[in-house]
Structures are given as C-alpha cells and as structure tokens.
Amino acid sequence: MIAEVIVDIATSETDRIFDYLCDDNVIVGSRVRAPFGGKILPGFVMRLKESSFFPMERLKRVLPCEDELPALNSECLALAEALANRYRVPKALTLRLFLPTEMRTGKVRERTRNYAALLLPIEEMQFSKTAKNQRGVAEYLQAHGKTDCALLNASFPGGVAALEKKGYVTITKEQVLRNPYQEVDSVCPTRTLTEDQARAVEIINTDNRRVQLLHGVTGSGKTEIYLTLIAQSLKEGKSAIFLVPEISLTPQMLSQLRARFGKNAAILHSGLSAGERFDEWWRLRTGEAKIAIGARSAVFAPLENIGVIILDEEHDSSYSSESAPRYNTFDVADLRAKYNGCKLVLGSATPSVETYKQAKEGAFSLIRLEKRINKRPLPEVIIADMRREVRRGNNSAFSAALKEELDKCLSADKQAILFLNRRGYSQTVICKECGYVAKCEACDVSLTYHKEENCLKCHYCGLKYNMLSACPDCGGRKLTYAGTGTQRIVSELQKLYPAARILRMDNDTTSGKEGHYKILKTFAEKQADILVGTQMIAKGHDFPAVTLVGILDADMSLHFSDYRSGERTFQLLTQVAGRSGRAEEKGKVVLQTFDPENEVLGFAASYDYAGFYKNEISLREAMAFPPFSKIVRVLISGEDDKKTLEALRGVFFGLKELYDKNEEKFLFFDKMRSPIKRIQNKYRYQVLMRLNDSSLLPQIYEICAAERTRDVLISVEENPANLS
Ligand code: ADP
Ligand code: ZN
C-alpha cells in the first residue's frame, strides 16, 4: 500500500503530502513514524492508495505507531484540510489543533489513571478550618467511593495530594476502564424547565436553521437549556461539544456538569496537566466520554456523531485565536455542525453586533429569554456622575452613592463586587474635569497615546496629533492617561472599611494554575465580603450573596481606540451588572462615569439591548465599520528588523498589486509600524486594510503565505480583537 503522509513540521517547505510505502493494516488518520531528511519524524496518514507517480523503489517505508485507534477521525482530517485552505497555513499546523501535545511529542503512555480512595472514615480525620479542598475531597470520596484524581483536582485543587500526605487517602494507578456504551447517568438531578426554557428547547429542536441564537438576559437560565440539549444528544446516542470562555469554568459550573453527566463529560480546562489533558482527550476519542467541555480549543475535540454544539457567551473575545492559525471558534464550530448535521447554539445576554445582525436578518434563528428565572428583577442601576464628585472635592475612587450602598450591603452581611475596567485605558487621554476624550477627527475613534514619540495617533487612519497640554474643551489641565490600579482601590477600600475582608482578582493575582479558581471559590464560600477585580470578574459567575456591584470607571472602554469599544462597554456593563441580585435579594449596581449622558451607558443602565443595537448598527453603517466592511490586518513581526522590513516590503508589494487592480473594493489601505513597535524583542509592522466585502480574502491569504520565511512571522487577522 501507499500512504499519503503529512510530516509534522510546520514550515512551508514541508507542507506537502509525501508518498510512503506502508503495511496493509495502516488506517487513514493514524500516526506513523516517517523517515524524512535523515530523521524519523511523526506523521499522519491522510489517504491510502494503490500506486504512486514515483517509482516504487524510491519510496521509503513508514513505521506504524501502536495506537489502538487512528489519532484522527475522518471528520478531523477533512476539517484540518478545510482550515488549512481557509487560512492558507500548512496542514501540519492545522492537524496539530486536533491533537493533544503528548500525542505529537512523546510516546503515547499506557492509559492508566490515578484513583483516590479513603483510608479512614471522614469522622476520624482532622482538618484545619481553611482546608476546604481537603474536606471536599474527603466528602466526595465518602459519598462516591474510589474516584479519578483528575476529576477531584478539577473541583478541589490540591486536596488529594494534601490528604495523601496526611495518610488519609491512598492513590492507586489503574488501567482506565473503558465502557463506551455507558448509559446516561440516571440519578443526576434535573430541574423542571420553566415555560420559557421549554419553549427555547422546542424551537432549537424544530427550527431548521443550523445556527440558533439564544439571546437571554443574565440569569434567564441559559445553562439549564444547554444541559437539556446535551442530555438529549446523549439519549440519542450522540455526542456534544460545550464551549465556554475559560473563565466560566467556575467551581459551580464544573460541579454542575459533573453531577449531571458524570464520566460522560470530559473537561478540558487549563488546570489540567498535559497528561490529564491527554487522558481526557483519549476518553473522547474512544467514546468513553461523549461530551467535550472547555474553552475554544475544545472545538477540536475528537468526537464523532455530534448531536449539538454550544457556544456560550458567544460575544466573548477569547473565541478568536491569537496564535497561528488565527481561527475563529464560530467558523470551526459551524463547519463541524454542518458536517454532523447538528445545531450550533449560540448563547449570550449581549450578542455581538455581527451575530445579532445575522439573526435579525433571518440567517440564524433568534430565541429571546427576556425574564430572569422566577421573575427576579434585574438590578437597579444608579448612575454616579464623577465630574460632580470631583467638583465637590471628592478625589477618591468612590462616589458618595457607592459608599452609601457599600455601607448598606456590608452591614446586611451581603457581598459586593467592585469592577475596574483597566484594559486599554492607559493609552487614552481623558480630561478629569469635563470628561473630554481625544478623538480622531477623521474616524471618530479615540486616539492612542504613543509614549516614545509623545504624540497621539489614530490606529485606523494613521493620523498623528500633538500630545495635549490642556483640555481643548474646558482648558483644564487635569489630563490623565494612567489608569487606577486594582491594588490602589483595595488599599483605599481597606481604609474605609477596616473590618471588611477584601479579595483582589486581576492579572497579578491569578498567576499559577488555579489562581482565579481559588479566588472565586473563596468568594463563593463567603470567606470574603468584597471582590475587587478587572474584566475577569465580569463573566458567568453566580454568587447568590452578591447584592451590590460597583463599576468604578464605566466609560474607560468607551474610549478604547477600537470601533467595537461601544459594543464592548455595553457587553461588559451588562455582564458585570448581571452579577448582582441573582438570588432572593434585589440587587443594585452603581455605575460611576465621567460621561453620564453617554448613550451606551444609558442603554446598559436600562438593559436595553435593542436600543443599543439600533444605535450601534447605524453608527457602524455610517462609518463603514464591520459588519459593513471587513478590517484585515497583516501583522509582520520578527527579531531581525531588517528581515522583518524586507518581509513587509514583499507583502506590501503583493498586496499593493491587488489593491491597484481592485481599488473599488478597498475603503482603506496602508502600511505602517504597529502601535506597539516591539513586543518580546520582535519588531512589528502591519498592513491595514478595510474592505467592502470578503471576496479578496483568499488572495490576501495567498499573498501573505508566499512571503512566509523562517525568521519572520506573517499573520492575517480578520476584524482583529485589538490592533496593538
Ligand atoms: P444565565 O446563564 O442565563 O445567566 P443561569 O443558567 O446561571 O442563567 O441561571 C440563573 C439561575 O437560575 C441559576 O441559579 C440557576 O440554577 C437557576 N435556574 C435555572 N433554570 C432553573 C429552573 N428551571 N428552575 C429553577 N431554577 C433554575
Ligand atoms: Zn483616524
């Protein structure tokens, strides 16, 4: 037999399919070891055939790997090819997306897992008060008996290891018991769906459009709908993919999924080691587990016969990959849904403008959930005008209204979340007295401060402005471009409330494997009164005791130099506000702003998505921003400035030719240095384009792929999430 093999090195030279001799028992999709340039490299069998154009005696022979199943099923192979074509990247690169690192680098380990079991009854154990995870593990083991350590570690990080040290549990290595025909766990608790939820499920099952948008306010019970759809798939003998932003894999979510689906669920989260990831992947590949749950990479789960794909918080920017190939999770999910003939369910309280437009125009089905479960009211929003606070001499980060609400909240023994929106702010110039923001005269987006040149620049048209010394509107000299850090907020807060227990959650405090997991768990267990954080605390969490949310600087991201900043702000504010008052108590939100008349804030404060959308879509149309155009950035970066510039010239030359031939399709075309000129020792240049439609995309990818070299990275980004 002849095998067409892709050798697993991602450089353009080797992105070809090579013919090899192979044994008759080799299967398409399986791993092989291929002699290549004097080395033995891992490869994958793409196709089998009887004969080759090359003379037989010149063909080398591949060695098989002893895997029980081919690593890639036929859908994955097809998808890898489709993605390689779509993004014009080597197939070796797209194939990697479907495989856990262990599969590519090492020998696949024997499939054993660690199981923990109790050595003592729980009553004879001693725990310190703070050892919640140890207690959690012990209680779980008492109730369920011997359990897979990976499962325990996901819910109770560190617990098993600590108990083993104390001699309370024993860990044994066991061959994984495979039970591909395992029935759906019948004892799991299921809630009765509300009328709205049942209607949504009904529509998703009967509407014949592939993509279903579930637009439900925060707390409307979308999760329960997802779980119902997944359970349905399992009942029909099918599998399911459930995608969430990584941060949404909160303790509550994990335990809910585990309680509902037990071993049928394979959870791919960043807390897993490479080995554990591999094990979860393998459980999916063999069919032992039928549900893949995880962040964007879980869209590549090795499942067959998929019954439903769910993309929760579909607007979340984490669904765009930031490294090559820069795939969009929706695109991949949509391809898989098409291949499997199943539904793709998008869920959000604040759908992206692009998605909502599709739904309004009928390309996607649109299902609305307008009420919270049990008709709990959405929290009341108080807008605090920070300009007035400054005029009254209040220079602290907290308005009088927020202080009053904090007093009430803490004395009622409830919890509060304070949200600080820091991202992107430090680069924008704002007047502290009147709220003026420096904007580009041509583009109506805010300008970005460039420190090195001490000037302001528009990232859309490249216009340069002198740095301001005073506010052009009010003449005030309190111009600022440095955000207030969470750390400073915490110390101010501690002074105001010495007895309060305050937790901080931002990039600095969440390093390490389970950083944010631990903080959220501590807060959920009411071991703290106030949680101060950035973007990270906005999403998906369900803390019943939270009755107050303070948004310290609501307008910051409005000035983020990006056409999507209005949309992002609306999404963020809605999400953050949704954390308040989720249980019996009615919640409140204090929204602090220097720009209280701003339309976007108004729409967010009144939970008016429709109003927001109408306003936003007409702005986008007027400015010819996406979805009425396509922004394409080609980013060229490399450590050697000269070589990088050379590559830029090559790319620009090719694109310029395309531009000259198709000028009417371009709204904008230029090359420039990137706003951040050097990241991690790599020089960065870009060609920025705004196009009428997507028709030239394949050619753009092609031109860029042709310039790829060893030393310079060239990436094409469509409507990039940021332009830094
Ligand atoms: P969303 O994801 O739409 O923001 P959730 O799925 O978190 O909302 O649901 C909000 C709350 O309502 C959760 O505490 C959830 O447990 C509860 N809930 C959802 N569906 C039901 C139901 N059918 N009956 C009772 N409670 C429910
Ligand atoms: Zn401009």
Q: Give the model confidence (pLDDT) of 251-285 as tens digits.
A: 667 777 878 888 899 988 766 777 778 888 888 99
- Return the higher-pLDDT residue of 424 and 460: 460
Task: Report the pLDDT value the prediction gives residue 109, as an integer from 0 to 100.
Answer: 54
686 SS3 class: strand
Q: What pTM, to 2 d.p., does this model score? A: 0.78
pLDDT digits (tens, 9 = 90+) for 622-672: 888 899 999 999 999 888 889 999 999 999 999 999 999 999 999 888 877
Q: What is the mean pLDDT of residues 325-343?
A: 94
Distance (Å) from CA 439 to ligand 2 centroid = 8
User: How would DSSP label each residue in 122-184?
Assistant: GGG----TT-HHHHHHHHHHHHH-SEEHHHHHHHSTTHHHHHHHHTSEEEEEEEPPP-TTPPP
Ligand 1 atom, smallest distance to 220 CA: 3
Pocket probe for ligand 1: among 229, 350, 373, 378, the residue whose CB has the most ligand atoms within 8 Å is 373
CA angle 416, 422, 425 (to 5 degrees): 145
**Measured from the CA of 194, which atom of ligand 1 is nearest?**
23
Q: Which atom of ligand 1 is nearest to the CA of 218?
A: 4
- Which range of 103-112, 376-385, 696-705 scores highest in mean pLDDT? It is 696-705
Tell me the pLDDT band of 66, cut-offs 50, 70 and 90.
confident
Q: pLDDT value at position 391?
A: 85
Which residue puts its alpha carbon closest to atom 20 of ligand 1? 221
Nearest Cα neighbor of 324 from 546, 89, 639 is 89
Q: Percentage of the chain with pLDDT > 70?
A: 87
- Which pLDDT value is given to residue 539? 65
**3-class DSSP state of 399:** coil
pLDDT of residue 7: 83
Confidence at residue 365, expressed as pLDDT on a 0 to 100 scale: 97
Give residue-wise pLDDT tens across range 214-242.
999 988 999 999 999 999 999 999 999 99
Give the Cα separation of 676 and 724 in Å (integer): 6
Which 8-state DSSP code applies to residue 62?
A: P
Is the model more confident about 326 or about 678? 326
| Token couple for 211 | 């993509």
Give the whole-angstrom CA distance, residue 61 versus residue 657.
44
pLDDT, tens only, 7-50: 876 555 556 788 999 988 888 988 888 888 888 888 889 899 98
Q: CB of 216 closer than 6 A to ligand 1?
A: yes
pLDDT value for 459: 65
21-25, 344-348, 667-671, 704-708: which range is least confident on average?
Answer: 667-671
* C-beta of 223 in contact with ligand 1 (< 6 A): yes
Give exposure, 392-413, as e/b (b: 16+ Cβ within 10 Å).
eeeeebbbebbbebbeebbeee
Q: Which of 224, 370, 376, 582 to mutate to test the pocket of ligand 1 (most atoms within 8 A of CB)?
A: 224
Q: Is the CB of 373 under 6 A from ligand 1?
A: yes
User: Is the distance from the beta carbon of residue 191 to the nearest atom of ligand 1 less than 6 Å?
Assistant: yes
Q: What is the pLDDT of residue 211?
A: 98
Q: Indicate whether residue 542 lines ligand 1 (CB < 6 A).
A: yes
Report the amino acid identity of residue 197: Q
Cβ neighbours of 323 (radius 10 Å)? 8
* Greater model confidence, 724 or 615: 615
Cβ–ligand 1 distance for 705 under 6 Å, the answer no
Dist CA 211 CA 597 (whole Å): 36
Using omega within 30 degrees of 0 as the cis cutoff, is the peptide bond preceding 627 cis? yes
Q: What is the mean pLDDT of residues 712-717?
A: 89
**Cα–ligand 2 centroid distance for 440 (angstroms):** 5
Residue 32 CB coordination number (10 Å): 23
The confidence score (pLDDT) of residue 662 equals: 94
Query: What percentage of the chain exceeds 90 in pLDDT?
Result: 35
User: Residue whose CA is closest, atom 1 of ligand 1?
Assistant: 219
- Give the model's pLDDT for residue 306: 97
End-to-end CA distance of the chain: 51
- The confidence band for 675, taking pLDDT boundaries of 50, 70 and 90, is low
Q: What DSSP letter does each residue of 644-666 carry, written as one string?
A: HHHHHHHHHHHHHHHHHHTGGGE
Nearest to 148 by CA among 25, 337, 283, 306: 283
Q: Which of 192-196, 466-470, 700-704 has the lowest mean pLDDT?
A: 466-470
pLDDT single digits (tens) 430-484: 888 888 888 877 666 677 776 667 788 776 667 788 888 888 888 888 887 644 5
Of 181, 254, 320, 251, residue with least CA distance to 242 = 254
Q: What is the pLDDT of residue 212?
A: 98
**Residues 426/559, Cβ–Cβ less than 8 Å:** no
pLDDT of 199 over the 90 cut? yes
Least confident of 167-176, 382-391, 423-432, 691-700: 423-432
- At residue 612, the pLDDT reads 96
What average pLDDT is seen over the chain?
84
Does residue 196 have its Cβ closer than 6 Å to ligand 1? no
Chain segment 538-585, per-residue pLDDT in tens: 765 678 888 899 988 877 555 555 788 889 889 888 888 877 776 677
Contact criterion met (CB below 8 Å) for 278 and 109: yes
Q: What is the rounded CA–CA span in Å between residue 591 and residue 605?
A: 8
Which residue's CA lies nearest to atom 2 of ligand 1? Answer: 222
Spatial contact of 492 and 500, defined as CB atoms under 8 Å apart: no
- Is the shortest distance between the CB of 194 and ligand 1 below 6 Å? yes
Q: How do the residues of the chain divide into helix, strand and coil, expressed in percent and rounded to 5?
A: 35, 25, 40
Residue 720 CB contacts under 8 Å (≥ 6 apart), including other chains:
320, 631, 633
> Which is higher by pLDDT, 390 or 343?
343
Q: Provide the pLDDT confidence category of residue 425 given band limits of 50, 70 and 90.
A: very low
CB 417 within 8 A of CB 576: yes
Q: How far apart are CA 194 and CA 571, in angstroms?
A: 26
DSSP state of 269: -
The yes-or-no verdict on residue 515 having pLDDT over 70 is no
Distance 538 CA to ligand 2 centre (A): 30
Is 220 a pocket residue for ligand 1 (Cβ < 6 Å)?
yes
In the predicted model, is pLDDT for residue 104 greater than 70?
Answer: no
Structure-model confidence comparison of residues 710 and 459, the more confident one: 710
Residue nearest to ligand 1 atom 24, measured at CA: 191
Q: Mutation test of ligand 1: which of 195, 199, 223 has the most ligand atoms closer than 8 Å to its C-beta?
A: 223
Helix (H) / strand (E) element for 422: namely none
Q: Does pLDDT of 181 surpass 50?
A: no
Q: Say if ligand 1 is within 6 A of residue 583 CB.
A: no
- What pLDDT score does 615 carry? 95
CA distance 706 to 697: 14
- Cα separation, 290 vs 180, in Å, equals 9
Contact residues for 488 (Cβ-Cβ < 8 A; gap 6+): 397
Predicted local distance difference test score (pLDDT) of residue 186: 39
Beta carbons of 11 and 93 less than 8 angstroms apart: no
The ligand 1 atom nearest the CA atom of 197:
23
Residue with tokens 């918080």: 313
Positive/negative CA dihedral, 619, 624, 626, 632: negative
Cα of 254 from ligand 2 centre, angstroms: 45
